[in-house]
Every structure is written in structure tokens, then in C-alpha cells.
Structure 1
Amino acid sequence: MSHLWWLCFALDKLTKPLKQQVVGTWTLTSGSEKLANGKTVVPWASGNLMLDSTGHVAFFLMGKDRPKTVANPRVPIGPVLAYYGTYTVDESTSTLTYNVESSTSPAFDGAVRKQKVVLSGDKLTTTGSPVKTSDGEIIPINEWKRAK
């Protein structure tokens, strides 16, 4: 009986559209950035990605090296990146497109962020379109696990 259940579960995952598979809350397992010189850095310690079934996205990352100070909770201490907005899915290219409404960085307000998606069970990898920073262009690569 358990083998039949597993087969049904596996077939269900294969037949579901990507849009249905990505819906949920995801917890960061690795947050890295590929630099223009080819090096990869891992500045992010934790984060969440929330994709709801109506097409809304909430995304945030907390940096590894944030100073431990007592501060005004209304003023973030970085590195930190958060934004919210809406998203669409392109099934044919396995791409999510985030339409950012507002962000902790004004440079992302109104931005369109494309994410190439690789989904394997409860693991999701997103590779973002290039981001121009004061230190040069980066490509964000985030690995997530489905929150339980």
C-alpha cells in the first residue's frame, strides 16, 4: 500500500504546473551572490520567500554580519533586503517574475526581478537576473527549503 501512495505522490508532483508547485513559504538554506569577477560570496544568513496562490510575493534576506546593537526597530541594520509585490510564472522557461511594489532599497521600488527556478521536491533554487550595485554587478542565487 505504501508503494502505491508514493507513486501517486510522485505522479502528482510531475503533473502539477510550476505555479502550483512554488506556492508556499520557503526558508533560505543558502544565499549567495556571483560577482562579476566570477567569485561567489555568501552574505545572507537567513530569509523567507512567500508566494501565495493569488500571485503575491514577500521576500526578505538578513545578512550574516549585522552588528549586534540596540537600535530603533524601524531603522533596519544591514545588510538586509526585503520587498513585496506580485509575481507571475512562465511555465515554458521555469521563470518567476517579481513585480516589486516596495523594498528596503529604494533602488528596487517598482523593479521587475526575474528568477530562473529549479524545483526538486521541497528544495527550490532561484537564480536572479543581474543586479547593479555600487560594487559591480551581481547575480543572486538563493536556495530554499519548503517551510513546514
Structure 2
Amino acid sequence: MNRRYALGLCATALISALTFPNDSISQGRSLRDQLIGTWIYVSSTGTREDGSAVERPKLQGAVTYTADSRFHFISVRSDAPKYASGDSARPSPEEAMAIASGVVAYTGTYTVDERTKTIHVNIETSSFPNLVGAPNQRRIVTSITDDE
């Protein structure tokens, strides 16, 4: 099964939304049941609190929602430079900055509000420490199918 999703960050860098390419939420099964599995990252957009746009490099990644209410998200720059040294422990300062600023990974627990079609996440660990425990972490599902 090829699952795809697009991640859009709305209103603040701390509030984001999942949108799915199809126009409707599948009927019959709960949204929570439909989310369980791994979804491949497609794209993201973002807006800061001051209304300015968030610039994003080319990214690839995935999010997984488990039946026991855990989730894992990772995105990585697809155009990141290779380390000239060939040693992952010895990047140049520029290489290290390019990698550090191009990777976002976090994990924690989630709940689903079926009425509002919203996923609420509690980030427990993150490559960006400011996300840990941050309030208002939500993803709004606008559409979902078995394949997308």
C-alpha cells in the first residue's frame, strides 16, 4: 500500500495540519483506525506567527501512527551535502549546519478528535528541543483514503 501525505504548518510553527490528496474522509472506519500505519512525506508549507512564510528545503521523510497511540515523524533534506571527510563524526562546520538545519525528527503520543478530524500530538523527544511539550500541536485531516 502506497500511503502519501502532505504536511502543512499553519498559524504558527507549532501548529500543523495533515492534508490528504483525496477530497473526502473514508466512510465506515474511524479516522484513528485509518491513520494507523506509515505515511510518506510529500511536502510542507509554513507560516510564522508574524505571518511571514517559512522557507523549507527539499525534504523527504515519513510519519508513523501506531495502534497504541504513539507516533514518529522524521524529515531530512534530500539535497544535503555529503561530508567531504567521509566520516559522519567529522563534518565541516558548514556541513554540520546544513544537516542540523535540514533534519526534523520527533516522537511522542497522539489522540484523535473524530468530531473535528484533528490529531493532537504530545511531542516527547525532538531533534528541535523547542517542540518538546509545546502546546497546540495539532494536525487537521482534510481528506484520507486507503492509498493516500
Into which bin does the TM-score normalised by the smaller protein fall?
0.5 to 0.7
Equivalent residue for 1:72, pick from 85, 89, 102: 89
Task: Give the letter for the 2:61 counterpart.
Answer: G
Question: Which stretch shows the higher mean deviation, 49-58 or 101-110?
Answer: 101-110
**Residues 1-148 of structure 1 correspond to what in structure 2 (within 5 A)?**
13-34=26-47, 36-37=50-51, 39=53, 41-69=55-83, 70=86, 71-72=88-89, 77-78=99-100, 79-112=102-135, 113-122=137-146, 145=148
The percentage of counterpart residues that share the same residue type is 30
Greater strand share, structure number: 1
Task: Give the letter for the 2:105 counterpart.
Answer: A
Alpha-carbon offset, residue 72 of structure 1: 2.3
Q: TM-score, normalised by structure 1?
A: 0.64
Alpha-carbon offset, residue 93 of structure 1: 0.7
Higher relative contact order (CA 8 A, sep 6+): 2
Task: Give the letter for the 2:42 counterpart.
Answer: T
Q: Is the 8 A contact 1:98 1:114 kept in 2?
A: yes
Separation in structure 2 between the aligned mates of residue 97 and residue 118 of structure 1, nearest angstrom: 15
Say what the alpha-carbon RMSD is for the aligned residues.
Answer: 2.5
Q: How many residues align?
A: 111
Q: Is the 8 A contact 1:44 1:61 kept in 2?
A: no
Alpha-carbon offset, residue 67 of structure 1: 2.2
Q: Is the 8 A contact 2:60 2:76 kept in 1?
A: yes
Greater helix share, structure number: 1
Q: Is the 8 A contact 2:34 2:146 kept in 1?
A: no
Q: Is the 8 A contact 2:123 2:132 kept in 1?
A: yes
The equivalent of 2:10 in structure 1 is none
Give unpaired runs (5+ residues) of structure 2: 1-25, 91-95
Give unpaired runs (5+ residues) of structure 1: 1-12, 124-144
Alpha-carbon offset, residue 43 of structure 1: 2.4
Q: Is the 8 A contact 1:34 1:41 kept in 2?
A: no
Alpha-carbon offset, residue 42 of structure 1: 4.3
Q: Is the 8 A contact 1:84 1:100 kept in 2?
A: yes
Q: Is the 8 A contact 1:32 1:43 kept in 2?
A: no
